[in-house]
Amino acid sequence: MNKRLIQFVLVAFLLSACAGKNNSNVDPADLPTETPVLPAFLLPVDRVIVHSASYTIIVRNPTRALTDLQRAVEQAGGFVSSASSYSSNGSASYSSLSAKVPPEALPTLSAALNKIADQVQNQSVYVQDVTAEVHKLQRRHADLTHARDELLLFLLNSRDLDRFSTFGILQELLDSEIKSVESQLENYEGQAELGSFDVTINQPSAVYPPVIE
């Protein structure tokens, strides 16, 4: 059980006993309150749109193409989350890039990629409306938070110390579920702010020998 919760409940219990209160019920209005500062992912939203784009291209020099794409991503206001290259004698070299970019920059990056590529083998662009999922998670978060607050109030009004550990387990389960919901909301928030831009860069071995720089 959360040690701070146990200490808080025990202190509240002892203080009420020392004060000789006849009414054991704690009025929620008497509890100390703070003005909550809601994180952005809990604020009301009209729409939440997730953008992503993935490409597979053919170029003579994958390493150089990777450098050019990294520069294009940075100029578009994004950042490269991962990039790698492979080259070996007797086989085609290849590179890959994963980046996060502002959604409005995806058309510009697509145009830059078409200039770099000798051939675009595959292109997939997705636009997904996840508003319903976000609203559902926000409602879930509100319900779980309310349940946790009600549990704390019940503990403050309870005189059965033997049951504190049991309710402490419930509180830990609620906290765990709340953190899970918050993680999902943060993930949606991040995906809406920055779209995914993924590129696989291949060199056909039948046409080009490995490029060594």
The 10s digit of each residue's pLDDT in 156-170 is 777 666 666 777 788
Strands (E), 28-179: 49-58, 79-88, 91-101, 119-129
- In single-letter form, the type of residue at position 125 comes to V
Rounded average pLDDT over 55-66 = 94
Q: Is the per-residue pLDDT at 11 higher than 50? A: no
Tokens representing residue 89 in the block: 């004698």
CB 146 within 8 A of CB 190: no
Q: Which residue has the higher pLDDT, 2 or 183?
A: 183
- In single-letter form, the type of residue at position 123 comes to Q
Q: Which residue has the higher pLDDT, 68 or 22?
A: 68
Query: For the chain, what are the domain ranges?
Result: 49-130+193-202
The single residue listed with the structure tokens 């100390």 is 32
Q: Which residue has the higher pLDDT, 211 or 142?
A: 142
Rounded average pLDDT over 199-206 = 85
Reported as a single tens digit per residue, the pLDDT across 106-126 is 999 999 999 999 999 999 999
- Sheet containing 119-129: order of strands: 79-88, 91-101, 195-202, 49-58, 119-129
Largest CA distance in the chain: 91
Rounded average pLDDT over 24-33 = 55
Beta-sheet pairing, 195-202 with 49-58? parallel
Instruction: Give residue 27's pLDDT band: very low, low, confident or very high (50, 70, 90).
Output: low
Beta-sheet pairing, 79-88 with 49-58? unpaired
30 SS3 class: helix
Tokens representing residue 113 in the block: 């990629």
Tokens representing residue 29 in the block: 């209005």
Among 18-27, 57-66, 134-143, which stretch is predicted with the lowest mean pLDDT? Answer: 18-27
pLDDT at 171: 84
> Domain 49-130+193-202 is in which class?
alpha beta
% pLDDT > 70, the chain: 76
116 SS3 class: helix
State the DSSP string of 148-199: HHHHHHHHHH---GGGHHHHHHHHHHHHHHHHHHHHHHHHHHHHHHSEEEEE
Instruction: Give residue 12's pLDDT band: very low, low, confident or very high (50, 70, 90).
Output: very low
pTM for this predicted structure: 0.69
Among 21-35, 94-108, 154-168, which stretch is predicted with the lowest mean pLDDT? Answer: 21-35
Phi, psi of 105 (to 5 degrees): -90, -10
What secondary structure letter does DSSP report for 204? -
CA distance 41 to 191: 12
Among 4-13, 46-55, 79-88, which stretch is predicted with the lowest mean pLDDT? Answer: 4-13
Instruction: Give residue 208's pLDDT band: very low, low, confident or very high (50, 70, 90).
Output: very low
The single residue listed with the structure tokens 């993935």 is 54
pLDDT at 7: 47
What is the rounded end-to-end Cα distance, in angstroms, of the chain?
Answer: 60
